[in-house]
Structure 1
Amino acid sequence: MGGNKAVAYKGPGVVEVIDIDYPTFELKDGPGVNPANVGRKVPHGAILKTVATNICGSDQHMVRGRTTAPADLVLGHEITGEVVEVGPGVEFIAVGDLVSVPFNISCGRCRNCKERKTGICLNVNPDRPGSAYGYVDMGGWVGGQAEYVLVPYADWNLLKFPDKDQAMEKILDLAMLSDIFPTGFHGAVTAGVGVGSTVYVAGAGPVGLAAATSALLLGASAVIVADMNADRLAQAKSFGCETVDLTKGGPVEQIEQILGVPEVDCGIDAVGFEAKGHGEGASEAPATVLNDLMDLTAAGGALGIPGLYVTGDPGGIDEAAKKGALSLSLGTGWAKSLSFTTGQCPVMKYNRELMMAILHDRVHIAGNVNATAITLADAPRGYAEFDKGAAQKYVLNPNGYLDAA
């Protein structure tokens, strides 16, 4: 086969499109690859020709230099593709299948996978439970912002779309199944959202908008989305959300103006460790969102926390933050009997059902997150605009499949 172009992290604020090797059914040495994974055979894998691969806020944390990601790490964990090769151990996935790839890499064999905890698979990352494509400290599986990508444990990991023509008609929606739609849905489910719930979503980026979409899909009566970015707040309003502008101060008073009470039933953190304080020009204060959620969520409620928190942040505001240690008012959470759910979303727990909701026109996630297709060559521009707060979900189109989308 020929070559392979991919988007790589070069250093803080810099990504480039580079030439990399075409995938094989073996994990090779390279930036970020755990030595214990070098030479790992993947007869159970499939090679995909990428249909869509999205820029994610989690990628942006690395590109900002806020993680320990090494230079030349190939990025991208939100992948939709067409199978072009399968390994000798693949039984059910076939060449030509159009598939969604959960961003969690999981084996399907370990105790956690068998319990549907695919975000913390025990067998794919020698560093710790849980893995993902193109991400720091996740084992070194090559990222999918590329023309071609290897997916291990293909029979287990890949979600096949039942009808290729129907799928291509809704491909921008289906491209959200690899991460942000299940992640937002997980945030809503773990926050306890149900029929009639009032919900507060911190953050109007793509995951926050996906969480808001999910809350509405689950029957929430009121979904309030908070951010400091006017364009992103306008995007939330476009599909029926109320909004809180945090440049005008804290959320509690604004929630009371909307609901008549200063609290909600369910709280969702879609911001993570780069959170800021309140008010115009607020500086970084990484515990702000979590403390806000404990203040404004009703006693006995739950917090869904799909926002990313890390154990190593070179750009942290103090020595504690650099280790992921935040000043949380845990006493508030304890006194109010709040429950917390953190960590990677187990995508496979939700993606099939969400696929069916998309295919049967129950939800239009691409419109809600303003999904926008761009070329692979345009990836550096997409990263730069996203970093500046563009109210768009950039979807890379490495092989031209999205030209008609």
Structure 2
Amino acid sequence: MSNKAVSYAGAGKVEVIDIDYPEFELKDGPGVNPANVGRRVDHGVILKVVASNICGSDQHMVRGRTTAPEGLVLGHEITGEVVEVGRDVEFIKKGQLCSVPFNIACGRCRNCKERKTGICLNVNPDRPGSAYGYVDMGGWVGGQAEYVLVPYADWNLLPFPDKDQAMEKVLDLTMLSDIFPTGFHGAVSAGVEVGSTVYIAGAGPVGLAAAMGAQLLGAAVVIVGDLNAERLKQARSFGCETVDVSQGNPKDQIEQLLGVPEVDCGIDAVGFEARGHGKNAETEQPATVLNSLMEITRAGGALGIPGLYVTGDPGAADEAAREGSLSLNFGLGFSKSHVFVTGQCPVMKYHRGLMQAILHDKAPIAKAVNATAIPLDDAPRGYADFDSGVAKKFVLDPHGMIRS
């Protein structure tokens, strides 16, 4: 059976290629850890991919800002229909429509049992934590494809209760695989509660998801900062205040909005390719967001950091940043007793509750992030448009099931 997929083809390039149809065994290939080759996956299922989204963290790889090998099949935001069930799968059934957490987790290790599924100890021989189609994450084949293998299916998959209802809301539900839980996790980690004032750095899809998450948690004011006017307009479309950081330090604009130059909660939805503020807005300064969040978050507040930071960045501006070392004003954070929460979102901690919010019309996340379905063959254009800064979240539709 054919299986087209999107692969990284070198800095600035992606290609749609033919790859093998999945089997219940990990094969060798670009990015696959040698210790995972030959690993049996009888606990897995094969999905017919209904939706697989282009993510900002994919863009880091495509820009050549990681050590991702050429030929790596991309895609960790997956929603699909079960078409084959492995021998050891007990509860997931053929025909179910399911959301796939981007974290691959075994359900058996200490971290999984403590709901820390973003740092599972058993699925990646290199380090804790794994994901589909991502550099240094064990080599599990990505889901920007027609078909994909999902391991530990009984544990990992979130089946939707009604397939027809789910297809009606599939553009919302596809956000459950990553950005909605990730943004929500940023808001939870930052301590957002009823009446909070919140500043979110970054108006890309994760920042917008964090904004909606903060609204769900009862924030009084949600402020989103960015350099991109179109993305700031998208944030305002669902009730956020905005700050244009190209005009200078966000603290001054926050004071104009709130009457004080600080917020209760800060969220970094930018990550390691951050730029400066004001006259330095076109210069990459990877510590800018974290340092500004420490400045504007009140003493005793918290910083949720769902923005991606890496240990290897060959395109960084200096030697330290190439290894993930940033010039942080950590003394300021210490003096203000800030809490910092970093790392991959443990998607399974949130996705069922957020699914319920979507199904019961409490969270129109697709509208908030301007979800836009495109054919799999249009993936190179989608990557290029997303990289140019358009205020859209591109959803790949391999089988035409969304558009039909």
Question: Structure 1-normalised TM-score?
Answer: 0.99
For residues 1-400 of structure 1, the aligned pairs below 5 Å read: 2-279=1-278, 281-400=281-400
What letter corresponds to residue 180 of structure 2 in structure 1? F
Percent identity over the alignment?
78
Q: Deviations over 1:273-306 (max 9, x none)?
A: 0000012552000000000000000000000000
For 1:356 and 1:230, how far apart are their aligned partners in 2?
Answer: 32
Q: Matches of 2:103 and 2:390 in 1, distance apart?
A: 26
Q: Deviations over 1:196-239 (max 9, x none)?
A: 00000000000000000000010000000000000000000000
**Structure 2 CA distance for aligned equivalents of residues 401 and 240 of structure 1:** 31
Distance in 1 (alpha carbons) for counterparts of 2:321 and 2:116: 28
Q: What does the per-residue CA deviation read over 1:85-142, in whole Å, with 9 as the maximum and x for residues that have no partner?
A: 0100000001000000000000000000000000000000000000000000000000
Code of the aligned partner of 2:214: A
Tell me the distance in 1 between the aligned counterparts of 2:348 and 2:261: 35
Find the aligned partners of 2:118 and 2:207 in 1 and give their Cα distance: 19
SS in 2 for 1:150: strand
Report deviation, 1:191: 0.1
Q: Quick one: distance in 2 between partners of 1:291 and 1:249?
A: 14
2 CA distance for matches of 1:246 and 1:135?
Answer: 30
Aligned-pair distance for 1:146?
A: 0.1
Take 1:158 and 1:284, find their aligned partners in 2: how far apart are those partners?
38
- Give the counterpart letter for 2:177 in structure 1: S
| Cα deviations by residue, 1:145-166 (Å, 9 ceiling, x for unpaired) | 0000000000000000000011
Match for 2:293: what amino acid? L
Tell me the C-alpha RMSD between the 2 structures: 0.5
SS at match of 1:402: coil
In 2, the alpha carbon distance for the partners of 1:389 and 1:169 equals 28
Secondary structure at 2:132 match in 1: coil
3-state SS of the aligned residue for 2:366? helix
Shift of 1:53: 0.1
C-alpha separation between the residues in 2 aligned to 1:102 and 1:294? Answer: 30
- Partner residue, 2:403: 403
In the alignment, the residues of structure 2 paired with residue 389 and residue 293 of structure 1 have an alpha-carbon distance, to the nearest angstrom, of: 23
Q: Where in structure 1 are there 5+ consecutive unaligned residues?
A: none
- Shift of the alpha carbon at 1:400? 1.1
TM-score (normalised: structure 2) = 0.99
How much has 1:74 moved relative to structure 2? 0.1
Q: 1:247: Cα distance to partner?
A: 1.0
Write the distance in 2 (CA, Å) between the matches of 1:111 and 1:3: 38
1:21 and 1:163 map into 2 onto residues whose CA distance is: 31
Range with bigger deviation, 275-284 or 348-357: 275-284
